[in-house]
Amino acid sequence: ILGFSTLPGRLSMMAFVLNALTCALALLYFIRRGKQCLDFTVTVHFFHLLGCWIYNSHFPSTLTWWLVHIVCTALMAAIGEYLCMRIELREIPLNSAPKSNV
């Protein structure tokens, strides 16, 4: 189904890319650590590979399937790590005023 020549193929590829973007946001809210984004991304895509293998009863062998998933893995990891690093590197607010009520 995946391919550039047909409309359903292009729509499927766009769905995979949009899924990678939404999963990058999920990494931001659930993982919150930039160093762990690649680990969780590869784990999610590995489980997807296993699910596809079990569902289709054969190992995925088409080049377009592998290219789409490699691109989506890289996209999800890079954007997820970027978003998590932005949160981690925010300034910590320090109040220098005393909190005593005299």
Q: Alpha helices of the chain — where are they, by DSSP H?
A: 7-30, 37-56, 63-88
Q: What is the pLDDT, as a whole number, of residue 4?
A: 77
Among the residue ranges 3-7, 65-69, 84-88, the one predicted with the least confidence is 3-7
The tokens of 53 are what?
Answer: 């293998």
Gap between the Cα atoms of 78 and 85, Å rounded: 10
What pTM value is reported for the model? Answer: 0.80
Q: How confident is the model at residue 102 (pLDDT cuts 50, 70, 90)?
A: low
Mean pLDDT on 58-86? 92
**Which pLDDT does position 97 carry in this prediction?**
64
- pLDDT of residue 70 exceeding 90, the answer is yes
The pLDDT value recorded for residue 34 is: 83
